[in-house]
A and B are shown apart, each in its own frame.
Chain A
């Protein structure tokens, strides 16, 4: 299985990420902006990121081991406050990396 190439590097991926985050956190899509922190801003908890990765699998039509997410967070956000550092933009970057890997 491979990602839908049309999603990559386009505005569509932004929209997919926004809708996925909104669905998973059950908030209106308008509240999800690139800079919105998922924990501090939208009330995400650890289990929601498991759910988010599951939904990204469906959206990107490819398997994403949860370890990929954990590693991505560790590499990119080591030492930072995860409550504010994990934003919609950060999720988009993860999705992009997964889509091409």
Chain B
């Protein structure tokens, strides 16, 4: 039996708060992080709202030397800040672990240009090319000349999905295993799960694991909007993310990062580390069905939940709380409800399951990681974070979603679900220890 792994530190950069104190307060207060998009002028966009990280938050103080920010996407900067916070929370000093026994596992976006200024360069280059050639058809040589003049070569490096994990490693001198998971909405959960496996295999004593994403840019918003997945409740941003509610109209994009410090339990105990919980179980599956449709019988999600609990050796009856994937899209709400009913049976009726995306928005590659952090806070501080905006439950969504307000509750074990585009499913289970 593999050695137990514990969570000793947590760091969050989120739309509802930066740092654990603010994050916990917002979860407890049921505060929405959704507002009008301020990152760029989105006039004329169908969706003009998102859950943005406080524009006043500056990650540059977490970056040494200062010039390293030039090679960071916004997401990488968030990751570096969250990792630093998590490590501080874990009270793990620079010499607290051998550098080659410290690894990094991050969920990240694979979309390339993640930042507004990078997109602007490309758009400007296209316009220059069109002007130069006098035709709407893209003249590639003209585009190349314009792109070359407009685009800083460093932006290429900023856009690669693996660079955020590299920056975290550089900042934390983590010379052990370093990997990036790019399974979209499931990436953060899977990155934490694979970090658990790295420790269990003996590849590392400590892993910095989580996810980071920042796609609130014109291309990202238009892309999801054109797929019809985003809420258009522009007039009421705070009420826009409403998982399991009859009047939902899609998810709300979020951004940010969350990182946890995972340690071999014996390692953590030997250094008298603070322990949040045991990371007891993980499983990942794929629907192998359709890119944006889940299997109608929810079998992929079910298999992930079943595998996770089996991995932890925990029976369904011992789970006290489920942090739902809960995007607020019709298909996910119904499928996840069905999966939970099927898996937990009779117990599903009294098992609290909430969607913190109602407050955080959908942080995409960071979602699973930040939602794990929400469950860790819930377990440690004794309350269930609510599904806000659940005014009129969808008749087919008839579970206890912890509507509207947080609820005091002692949790022994919590399950965190992530089910993404592409059919990739992953679950994590934390247990009090």
Choose among B69, B148, B149, B152 the residue that contacts A51 (Cβ–Cβ < 8 A): B152
B67→A48 contact, CB < 8 A: yes
Contact B154 A26 (CB under 8 A): no
- The answer to whether B71 has its CB under 8 Å from any CB of chain A is yes
Complex contact B65–A26 (CB within 8 A): yes
> What's the least CB distance linking B75 to chain A, in Å?
19
Cβ of A82 < 8 Å from any Cβ of B?
A: no
Within 8 Å of chain B (Cβ to Cβ): is A47?
Answer: yes
Identify the closest chain B residue to A48 (Cβ). Answer: B67
Determine if B153 and A51 form an interchain contact, defined as CB atoms under 8 angstroms apart.
Answer: yes
Residue of B nearest to A53 (CB): B153
Query: Closest residue of chain A to B63, judged by CB?
Result: A26
Question: Does B157 make an interface contact (CB < 8 A)?
Answer: yes
Residue interface bits A38-55, CB-to-B below 8 A is 1, else 0: 000001000110110010
With contacts A26-B70, A51-B70 taken as known, whether A43 is within 8 angstroms of B152 at the C-beta atoms is: no
Q: How far is it, in angstroms, between the C-alpha of A57 and the C-alpha of B153 when the chains are bound?
A: 12
User: Are B71 and A47 closer than 8 Å at their CB atoms?
Assistant: yes
Contacting pair B67 A26 (CB below 8 A) = yes
Q: How many A-B residue pairs have CB under 8 A?
A: 27
Residues 15-73 (chain A) with a chain B CB within 8 angstroms:
24-27, 43, 47-48, 50-51, 54, 57, 63, 66
Residue from A26, A43, A50 whose CB has the most chain B CB atoms within 10 Å? A26
Interface of A is mostly: helix
**Contact present for A43 and B153 (CB under 8 Å):** no
Distance, CA A26 to CA B66, complexed state (A): 7
The smallest beta-carbon distance between B426 and chain A, in angstroms, is 34
Assuming A50-B154, A51-B154, is B149 touching A24 (CB within 8 A)? no
Contact of A63 with B149 at beta-carbon distance under 8 Å, contacts A25-B67, A43-B67 already known: yes
Instruction: Name the distance in Å between B12's Cβ and chain A's nearest Cβ.
Output: 27
A50, B67: Cβ atoms closer than 8 Å? no
Q: Please tell me if the beta carbons of A43 and B71 are within 8 angstroms of each other in the complex.
A: no
> For A48, what are the chain B residues with a Cβ–Cβ distance below 8 Å?
67
Q: Which B residue's beta carbon lies closest to that of A50?
A: B153
Contacts of B153 in A (CB 8 A): 50-51, 54, 66
Q: Which residues of B contact A27 (CB under 8 A)?
A: 67
CB distance from A7 to the nearest CB of B (A): 19
| B148, A63: Cβ atoms closer than 8 Å | yes
Q: Contact check, A47 vs B157: say whether CB atoms are below 8 A apart.
A: yes
In the complex, chain B residues whose CB is within 8 Å of the CB of A24? 67
Q: A63 to chain B: which residues have CB within 8 Å?
A: 148-149
Question: Which residues from A are CB-within-8-Å of B157?
Answer: 47
Cβ of A88 to closest chain B Cβ, rounded Å: 16
Task: Kindly list chain A residues whose C-beta atoms are within 8 Å of the C-beta of B66.
Answer: 26
Whole-angstrom CA separation of A66 from B149 in the bound complex: 13
Measured between alpha carbons, how far is A48 from B157 in the docked complex, in Å? 12
| Neighbouring B residues of A47 by C-beta, 8 Å | 71, 154, 157
Chain B window 136-160, contacts with chain A (Cβ cutoff 8 Å), 1 for yes, 0 for no: 0000000000001100111001000
The answer for the CA separation of A94 and B42 in the assembled complex, in Å, is: 43
User: What residues of B have a CB within 8 angstroms of the CB of A51 in the complex?
Assistant: 70, 152-154
Which residues from chain B contact A54 at a C-beta distance below 8 Å?
152-154
Give the distance to chain A from B132, nearest Cβ to Cβ, in Å.
15
B144 CB, nearest partner CB in chain A, Å? 12
Q: In the assembled complex, which residues on chain A have CB atoms less than 8 Å from the CB atom of B149?
A: 57, 63
In the assembled complex, the Cα of A27 lies from the Cα of B68 at a distance in Å of: 12
B383 to chain A, nearest CB (A): 43
In the complex, A91 Cα to B399 Cα: how many Å? Answer: 67
Which residue, of B69, B149, B157, has the highest number of chain A Cβ atoms within 10 A?
A: B149
Per-residue contact bits, chain B 61-94, to A (CB 8 Å; 1 contact, 0 not): 0000111011100000000000000000000000
**CA separation between A43 and B170, bound complex, in Å?**
15
Could you list 17 examples of A-B contacts with CB < 8 Å? A25-B67, A26-B65, A26-B66, A26-B69, A26-B70, A47-B71, A47-B154, A47-B157, A50-B154, A51-B70, A51-B152, A51-B153, A54-B152, A54-B153, A54-B154, A63-B148, A66-B153
Could you list which residues of chain A lie within 8 angstroms of chain B, going by C-beta atoms? 24-27, 43, 47-48, 50-51, 54, 57, 63, 66
Further contacts, 13 of them, CB under 8 A, given A47-B71, A66-B153: A25-B67, A26-B67, A47-B154, A47-B157, A48-B67, A50-B153, A50-B154, A51-B70, A51-B152, A51-B154, A54-B152, A54-B154, A57-B149
Task: Enumerate the 5 nearest inter-chain pairs by beta-carbon distance, A residue then B residue, closest first.
Answer: A26-B67, A26-B66, A50-B153, A54-B152, A43-B65
